[in-house]
Structure 1
Amino acid sequence: MNLLDNLVKTTSIPEIYRNMKQEELEEKVREIKAKLGKKLFIPGHHYQKDEVIQFADAIGDSLKLAQVSAENKDAEAIVFCGVHFMAETADILTSEEQIVYLPDMRAGCSMADMADIFQTERAWTELTALFGDTMLPLTYVNSTAAIKAFVGRHNGATVTSGNAEKMVKWALDQKQRLVFLPDQHLGRNTAYNLGIKLEEMAVWDPITNTLEAQVETDKIKVILWKGHCSVHENFTVENIKQVRAENPEMNIIVHPECRREVVGLSDYAGSTNYIIDVIKKSEPGSAWAIGTEMNLVKRIINDFPDRHIVSLNPHMCPCLTMNRIDLPHLAWNLDQIVAGTANQNIIKVDADIARDAKLALDRMLNLA
């Protein structure tokens, strides 16, 4: 069997699930949830479709969901409705007795895939030749387990969009400069907020294996990995100008994975939870343009009908990889779990990688 055949085998679901009506699929999921009870736990990321999120036992960001999964000791099956790196983190933090599943193994993250372990090890060698032992690596939790493990082995830590400033401060207390993976925009926005000049930040291009810098190497404080979120990078200065022209009373709030110039022109910027919290605390009748993933924006619009809320980019599509988790895949995966045939949907991180990745996660969690 070749690689393509194997991929098709492990990602295709029987047509019966594709042909079932939504009501039938929903009833199947409800029945299995009732049957398994506390033995089943379904975490759902904020960016998931409504058809899936309605069955989530917890809704949140990737790290929170992994932590909550670990706290549910009675849960034998964790069916993670998110993307691959999130399920990896859940596997790292949960016990050996718990099994983490991903309903569609094709649900990846383009940002996480922009930094693989081979590129990272090569970059570290090149950067060490330039900077010596003056660097500490940080990685966004939106990264693979292998990258987290690399950071853990090199005394670094993970960060979230909510605690990035605290973690960057911590890193710069340890070493003269830091390497920030894999999202250059979160790293740049965070460092800028802490008073680091843009020219003091360089960008490492893993494709050309080169450092893009505006100043001499000894003046560089932050090295940003040339990666980005394919969703958040699509919010532009032009979007902001249009909102300001057409709706000058609107507040603009964006995620820090957006480009620096977009964040700089916005009224507010922060993590997904921050965005939700700001809208929740806002005055009824207030107007908001939100720069984040479309499934979440639509959910916020529905949750707060007394606010005028729009997407900052009216042509934005939902995250394509997040949307691979749909109701047919969820129902199929749950049927497999009940039948004991869900082997191809299991997320299991190698023990050595999990150990080192947990070092990076624990350093962050111990500082939280």
Structure 2
Amino acid sequence: MASVPTQIALLTRAPGGADSTCDPDLPTAPWQFDAVPGQPLPAPTYGAGASRQDPVPADAPVQQQIPAQYRLLPADELDRRIRTARQTLGSRVTILGHAYQRDEIVQYADFVGDSFQLAQQSQQHPEAEFVVFCGVHFMAETADLLTTDDQPVILPNLAAGCSMADMADIDAVQACWEQLEAVYGTEPDADGRVPVIPVTYMNSAANLKGFCGEHGGIVCTSSNAREVLEWAFERGQRVLFFPDQHLGRNTAKAMGVDVADMPLWDPRKPRGGNSEESLRDARVVLWRGWCSVHQRFTVDQIAQARAKNPDVRVIVHPECPMEVVDAADEAGSTRYIQLAIDAAQPGEAFAVGTEINMVRRLADTRPDLTIECLDPVVCPCSTMYRIHPAYLAWVLESLVEGRVVNQVSVDPVVAGHARTAVERMLAVGA
């Protein structure tokens, strides 16, 4: 498999082509998008490599320019300084890394996993004075919910966001809720089930998790979405699922819910663009949101992989569109994919539909297997790339000097409700 920079160079099928939705300049240093003292504040951006179809909210965080010494350091010197600071801090700091992170960051993590695993890990290190979260903003917020009050959670680059998470905001969700209440009312049925239970994917802001906690709802991840929906159906007549439509649709369909009973809610339209009748018949109301990386995978790519090798085993993430999940052999979370590769017999071949850094890392760890990414035009999780070793060196050396930078803190009132929703999820398990 080609290196990530080589594959990133293939991001566009043709320069300026109509089907080109990704920016090919991902390897460029991310600090070019940061705020520079004395200059006008730049517009928020997901950065190079992001889908051009994903607008960034005006209130998205912007990272302040880090000191020039870090931006100018060569890779080997950054590595030396990170390791020195890490050794100096010892058990005072825990570094968590998402599986989609670049290798240059993953190598320093004490634990690497998906969002559910990292949420669990956030609770399991009360001895650490600091938690450095190498992921994206909503993940750091969740870690802040689950760590102790005196454990600062640090995100090396505050501009590391998530386009999917930004597709649902608290004002739009509250407006949706009020419209649903107008259709469903608020009284439970004869079995005590309320009209609707809100379920938010982990890939959402803390205030949306708080909304769920306050309204009897819960959080899910791709690892435990089925168990969470079962929990919700026991308590509610239907579910409002946001922000990722594909995870909600694929999970509910696998549980036997008819696709016709899962209307799509477009927050830009009255009643989400649905009739009252379709909403009344709904079992799951799906928010119009998606992951730009996983939405790129197609049925044609699966057909091409099978034409190349009829014995290939196709595994995709449940954030992929329904027709892709249906065409694949299996669908599962980041952790599911990892375990499937771990258990594979030498000589097996896999075509994997998920983020390229993870696919390449799986291929590197199992050279006895054939592991390829389904998408030949790689569109990585660009916001994960905002966590560059220069930012990690900066936050770690700041801790050595006694300064906490880039702390992510959730409002105490929001945190109380959000913690309720997350703890309900953790009680359900994976």
**TM-score, normalization: structure 2?**
0.82
Residues 63-212 of structure 1 correspond to what in structure 2 (within 5 A)?
63-133=116-186, 134-212=195-273
- Residue 222 of structure 1 corresponds to 284
CA distance in 2, matches of 1:287, 1:356: 45
Question: Which SS does the other structure have where 1:52 is aligned?
Answer: helix
Tell me how many residue pairs correspond in the alignment: 367
Gaps (5+ residues) in structure 2?
Answer: 1-37, 45-60, 187-194
1:309 and 2:309 equivalent? no
1:129 deviates by 0.8
Q: Runs of 4 or more off by more than 4 Å in structure 1?
A: 5-10, 212-215
CA distance in 1, matches of 2:374, 2:205: 29
1:5 deviates by 6.9
1:367 deviates by 2.2
CA distance in 2, matches of 1:118, 1:96: 28
Q: How has the CA–CA distance of structure 1 residues 232 and 10 changed in structure 2, closer, same or farther, with 3 Å as cutoff?
A: closer
Q: Give the stretch that moved more between structures: 319-328 or 212-221.
A: 212-221
CA contact (8 A) 2:115 2:139 kept: yes
Calculate the aligned-residue CA RMSD, in Å.
Answer: 1.8
Q: How has the CA–CA distance of structure 1 residues 10 and 256 changed in structure 2, closer, same or farther, with 3 Å as cutoff?
A: closer
Equivalent position to 1:32, from 85, 107, 123: 85
Q: How has the CA–CA distance of structure 1 residues 186 and 9 changed in structure 2, closer, same or farther, with 3 Å as cutoff?
A: closer
The code of the aligned residue for 1:70 comes to Q
Question: Which SS does the other structure have where 1:216 is aligned?
Answer: helix
Residues 285-300 of structure 1 correspond to what in structure 2 (within 5 A)?
285-300=347-362
Question: Which SS does the other structure have where 1:283 is aligned?
Answer: coil
- Residue 69 of structure 2 corresponds to 16
Q: How has the CA–CA distance of structure 1 residues 270 and 10 changed in structure 2, closer, same or farther, with 3 Å as cutoff?
A: closer
CA distance in 2, matches of 1:169, 1:122: 26
CA contact (8 A) 1:201 1:213 kept: no
CA contact (8 A) 1:136 1:171 kept: yes
CA distance in 1, matches of 2:425, 2:108: 30
1:223 deviates by 0.0
CA distance in 2, matches of 1:6, 1:248: 47
CA distance in 2, matches of 1:208, 1:17: 46
CA distance in 2, matches of 1:29, 1:209: 51
* Structure (1/2) with the larger helix percentage: 1
CA contact (8 A) 2:279 2:285 kept: no
CA contact (8 A) 2:263 2:278 kept: no
CA distance in 2, matches of 1:259, 1:365: 27
Question: Which SS does the other structure have where 1:138 is aligned?
Answer: strand
Q: How has the CA–CA distance of structure 1 residues 309 and 92 changed in structure 2, closer, same or farther, with 3 Å as cutoff?
A: same
- Residue 323 of structure 1 corresponds to 385
Equivalent position to 1:335, from 393, 397, 401: 397
1:341 deviates by 3.6
1:6 deviates by 11
CA distance in 1, matches of 2:40, 2:285: 36
1:209 deviates by 4.3
1:212 deviates by 4.2
1:249 and 2:286 equivalent? no
1:220 deviates by 1.2
1:56 and 2:56 equivalent? no
Question: Which SS does the other structure have where 1:347 is aligned?
Answer: coil
CA contact (8 A) 1:41 1:69 kept: no
1:4 and 2:41 equivalent? yes
CA contact (8 A) 1:45 1:59 kept: yes
- Residue 5 of structure 2 corresponds to none
The code of the aligned residue for 2:324 comes to V
Gaps (5+ residues) in structure 1?
Answer: none
CA distance in 1, matches of 2:242, 2:40: 30
CA contact (8 A) 2:136 2:155 kept: yes
CA contact (8 A) 1:87 1:101 kept: yes
CA contact (8 A) 1:79 1:103 kept: yes
CA distance in 2, matches of 1:9, 1:366: 35
Q: Give the stretch that moved more between structures: 310-319 or 350-359.
A: 310-319
CA contact (8 A) 1:150 1:357 kept: yes
CA contact (8 A) 2:128 2:151 kept: yes
Question: Which SS does the other structure have where 2:141 is aligned?
Answer: helix
CA contact (8 A) 2:176 2:272 kept: no
- Residue 322 of structure 2 corresponds to 260
Question: Which SS does the other structure have where 2:400 is aligned?
Answer: helix
CA distance in 1, matches of 2:39, 2:416: 32
CA contact (8 A) 1:183 1:257 kept: yes
The code of the aligned residue for 2:200 comes to T
Which whole-Å deviations, capped at 9, do the CAs of 1:204-230 have from their partners, x for residues lacking one? 111234434586333211100111111
Q: How has the CA–CA distance of structure 1 residues 76 and 122 changed in structure 2, closer, same or farther, with 3 Å as cutoff?
A: same
* Structure (1/2) with the larger strand percentage: 1
Question: Which SS does the other structure have where 2:227 is aligned?
Answer: helix
Which whole-Å deviations, capped at 9, do the CAs of 1:2-36 have from their partners, x for residues lacking one? 97179898431222212211111111011111111
The code of the aligned residue for 2:41 comes to L
